[in-house]
Amino acid sequence: MEIEELFLLAFQALWRNIARTLLTMLGIIIGIASVITIMSLGAGSTESIVGEISSFGANVLTVSPGQSKRSPGGSSSIVTTLSSEDAEAIEKLANVEMVSPVVNKGKTITANSESTSVQVSGVAANYTLIKSLEFVNGGFFDEGDVLSAAKDVVLGDEAIEELFGSDAAEFVIGETVRIDGRVFQIVGIIVDSNEAYVPLTTAQTVLLGQSYLDKISVYVTDGELIDVVTLDIEELLLDEHDIDDPQAADFNVQGSQTFVETISSVTGTLTTLLSGIAAISLVVGGIGIMNIMLVTVTERTKEIGLLKAVGAKDRNILNQFLIEAVVLTVSGGIIGILLGVSIAFIASQMMNIPFMVTTSSILLSFGVSAGVGIVFGYYPAQQAAKLNPIDALRYE
Amino acid sequence: MSQALIKFQDVTKTYITGPVKYQALKGINFSIRAGEFVSIMGPSGSGKSTIMNIMGALDTSTTGEYLLKNKNISNYDGDELAEIRNKEIGFVFQSFNLLPRTTVVENVKRPLMYDGVDKNQRYERALEKLRLVGLVDKANNLSNHLSGGQIQRVAIARALVMNPSLILADEPTGNLDSKTAREIMKTLVKLNEEGVTIIVITHEQNIADFSDRIIKLKDGLVASDKKTRKR
């Protein structure tokens, strides 16, 4: 008996009860469609986030202060801080093009009677080069402003809108705002941002009263050398901070690659988790299949008796019903894949992320739906196969 | 005298349901030669269904031997019995003979599929038997669009398709009006004249009269075994 005939028989049997067939498949359709959609959106958003991070520049390293693993009773507890000297030392390293020390803190900015909360960063004049900031109007402060601790501020256009209303970006250059009650002059407005930048020296002395740094952005001459520079910085800072054990380092050096890895791992975990939840509906769908197949076997008891009378062996009956279950789930799987891909496409357009469907997720869905058919179709098929022909023929 | 096609030797059958034992056959002896047309008669409870089940390899005896073509099939397992049913026996039942919503020719072809006959030959062989029962023009009709008499003729065509040793018909005319019943019996007589062994289980004397030998059962034993005077 050829396998293709069994498939044909299965299609015929399922077609006879098309409404029931479709309803039974629904569980599988929904399960497969959700898995495909979630996997696709997961891959798309990872791609989108990774793309965004990479656009920061593959040759930017961030040095941030970290928790020292030494006991609190150790020699000096002040080592958890990055200093301006550290920044200057890093700048002298080979393959380092620029260094921008950063301090930051959330502050409330007021202008007239409006106020808004923003992250205020004190940075060097070269920060705009490292981050490739784009301006709506005006520009960044220069080195002279940093040396003189000028009360200049560069604001994001979103903050400007909060304070001065929409379309204010055109005319607010030169206007003043207050940060912690101190007057700052707006010198530039950046695109798509809710941040505020002031000269580092101004931030340290006037706003925060801190001499240490929160972050040092390091611009490496060549992205290929990022690992080398990372090691150099680690070595340098361990030396500067007088630490022997690298495990006890009181700072972290991270490239954008590290962020990418972290983000990918987070979205990957989330995708797996959500797919897992969606997969539960496949199990529920499978139980539905088993239920309907058991009903089918009961309904077709006389037919099974007749087939056995004309020479069907137990395994012929088993195969016939098993293939029927597999055809049911695989058809559901195919419809689910098409539905999932469509939903993923529409959703990715709406979420403005890349549309990504992997072949592996489609093959996986196909395999899983066939697997569900075999697993949940086996018991009913076995019930059919082991029917006694006399009892089956006499069944009313 | 040609050799026995079927031989029952002291065949008994006991059904056990829970604590209740019921002996349906109490020692049956008879043999049927190839080419015979035999009716097995008896009131309900006489054991004729049990005999039909054992003879049709749907069931096995409790004790005694059932020889089909000199092979004792009393100890065959499920798959071996399925093969005997497929190759040696053609069934015609009283009702539910055909697969619902399946074409006539698909129904007739089915035993060939279980025997692994080449796909291309099956259609031809099925048509050949449908021609024999005069239903070749209905080959592609769905089984549920046929009349009762046509259904029985399709069942006969299917019973013949494997060229079995015997045709076993269990009350084949039970659901038919008397005119159609006669036509079906005439079809069986015609096949018998062409050499097919036919065994009919019936409780109707006028049906049994078409055969050339009647075995009557009573309470699980053979009560009489006589040639009819008809032929």
Q: Indicate if the pLDDT at residue B168 is higher than 90.
A: yes
Q: Does residue B2 have a pLDDT over 60?
A: no
Cα–Cα distance measured from residue B66 to residue B138, given in angstroms and rounded to the nearest whole number: 38
Chain B hits for A17, Cβ within 8 Å: none
Distance CA A95, CA B109 (A): 82
Q: What is the pLDDT of residue A219?
A: 85
Q: In which band, very low, low, confident or very high, does the pLDDT at B29 lie, cut at 50, 70 and 90?
A: very high
Instruction: Choose the mutation target among B53, B86, B99 for the interface with A, i.e. most A CBs under 10 Å.
Output: B99
Place of tokens 């021609």: B131
pLDDT-based confidence at A54, cuts 50/70/90?
low
Instruction: Please tell me the predicted confidence (pLDDT) of residue A280.
Output: 86
Q: What is the mean pLDDT of residues B162-185?
A: 92
A235 confidence band (pLDDT: 50, 70, 90)? confident
Task: Count other Cβ atoms within 10 Å, centred on residue A223.
Answer: 13
Residue A387 confidence (pLDDT) above 70: yes
- pLDDT tens per residue, range B5-23: 999 999 999 999 889 999 9
Q: Which amino acid is present at A312?
A: A
Report, as an integer, the average pLDDT of A242-269: 80
| pLDDT for A74 beyond 50 | no
* Strands A96-111 vs A114-123: parallel, antiparallel or unpaired: antiparallel
What is the Cα–Cα distance from A67 to A249, expressed in whole angstroms? 8
Residues in A closer than 8 angstroms to B99, CB to CB, are 303, 306-307
Mean pLDDT estimate for chain A: 86
pLDDT greater at residue B217 or residue A3: B217
Mutate to test the interface with B, among A303, A310, A323 (most CBs of B within 10 A): A310
Q: Is the pLDDT of residue A377 over 90?
A: yes
Which pTM value belongs to this model?
A: 0.71
Name the percent of chain A in helix, strand, coil, to the closest 5.
Answer: 60, 20, 20
- Res. A68: pLDDT tops 70: no
State which residue of chain A sits closest to B109, comparing Cα positions. Answer: A310
Confidence check: pLDDT of A118 > 80: yes
Computed over every residue of chain B, the mean pLDDT equals 91
Residue A25 binned pLDDT confidence (cut-offs 50, 70, 90)? very high
**CB proximity A5 to B under 8 Å:** yes
For residue A75, the model assigns a pLDDT of 43
Q: Is A28 a residue whose pLDDT tops 60?
A: yes
Please choose, from the candidates A246, A99, A310, the residue with its C-alpha nearest in 3D space to the C-alpha of residue B158.
Answer: A310
- Cβ of B91 within 8 Å of Cβ of A308? The answer is no
Q: Using 50, 70 and 90 to split pLDDT, how confident is the model at A30?
A: very high
Q: Residue B158 and residue A310: Cβ atoms within 8 Å?
A: yes
Burial readout B128-142 (b: 16 or more C-beta within 10 A, e: otherwise)? ebbebbebbebbeeb
B63-77 burial: b if 16+ Cβ within 10 Å, else e: ebebbbeeeebbebe
CB contact under 8 A, A1 and B86: no
Q: Where are the domains of chain A?
A: 3-51+262-394, 80-249
Chain B hits for A302, CB-CB cut-off 8 Å, are: 96
- Please compute Rg for chain A using Cα positions: 33
Closest chain B residue to A14 measured between Cα atoms?
B101
The pLDDT, as a whole number, for residue B1 is 44
Measured between beta carbons, which residues in chain B are less than 8 angstroms from residue A385? none
Confidence of residue A228 (pLDDT cuts 50, 70, 90): confident
pLDDT at B141: 92
For A315-329, the pLDDT digits (tens) are: 999 999 999 999 999
pLDDT tops 70 at residue B145: yes
Q: Is A8 on the interface with B (CB under 8 A)?
A: no
Is A302 at the interface with chain B, CB within 8 A? yes
pLDDT range class, residue A55, cuts 50, 70, 90: low
* B23 Cα to chain A: minimum distance (Å): 17
Nearest chain B CA: its distance from A331 CA (Å): 22
Most confidently modeled of A3-7, A222-226, A234-238? A234-238
A138-162: per-residue pLDDT in tens? 889 988 988 888 999 999 988 888 8
3-state secondary structure of A145: helix
- CA of B125 vs chain A CAs: smallest distance (Å): 16
Say how many CB pairs under 8 Å bridge A and B.
61
Give me the residue from B58, B78, B101 closest to A309, CB to CB. Answer: B58
Which residues of chain B have a CB within 8 Å of the CB of A313? 78-79, 82-83, 114
Q: How far apart are CA B38 and CA B36, in angstroms?
A: 6
